[in-house]
Chain A
Amino acid sequence: KAGVTQTPRYLIKTRGQQVTLSCSPISGHRSVSWYQQTPGQGLQFLFEYFSETQRNKGNFPGRFSGRQFSNSRSEMNVSTLELGDSALYLCASSLVTGGNYEQYFGPGTRLTVT
């Protein structure tokens, strides 16, 4: 069974640009969550999508947005990039929403903003 896949794996963008990251969950999984990992702030929750609806949102500015498609694939978008957005963005999928279900993570997208 294929794991969680994320594309692209690496990305270099310039300040002020926007970026879209993609995540394909494990087949059959309907919940997708996004996390940002930086050396200073650690792993922080961005948002979760379940059945194409945003289920939960972390404490990030409105420049960070996401969506989920009917096949459970998810995208996250960051507009007007700032240097501080440089991070590893991890996507996780679980069967359904809820804390009692294991989440499986993808390899991440390494975003560098210059």
Chain B
Amino acid sequence: AQKVTQAQTEISVVEKEDVTLDCVYETRDTTYYLFWYKQPPSGELVFLIRRNSFDEQNEISGRYSWNFQKSTSSFNFTITASQVVDSAVYFCALSERETSGSRLTFGEGTQLTVNP
């Protein structure tokens, strides 16, 4: 069965610091998809990124970057030069191959607080 673990429950940083959110996953499938979502206080989950299991190329998008390593089953997310508006709960999620439909398995979430 699939599982996602986010060991960091809460992280608090000062504005402009870099912060990395950790995500470790478990799956028996060779084809799977990994996601990061952000949940601000308003409650709506905001899609940030999707990665396929066969694409280990890391990505940078503005202040965000992602580090996907199959060898360690990790999919970490880094915010560079954090801002107060980055304060939210961040979820890592896993979806297995297409026979599982769109079902997402979420981690416990990491509450990120960026202080001015």
Contacts and interface: CB of A to CB of B under 8 A. Distances in A.
Contact of A99 (B43, B47, B101, B109): B101
A24 B97 CA distance: 26
Interface in A48-67: 48, 50, 55-56, 58
A102 B44 contact: no
Given A42-B106, A42-B109, A43-B91, A99 B100 contact: yes
B16 interface: no
B43 A33 contact: no
Interface string B87-98: 000010001111
Nearest to A50: B101
Interface in A30-49: 31, 33, 35, 42-45, 48
A110 B98 CA distance: 30
B44 A33 contact: no
Contact of B43 (A92, A94, A102, A108): A108
A103 B44 contact: no
Nearest to B109: A42
Interface of B: 32-33, 35, 37, 42-47, 50, 52, 91, 95-98, 100-109
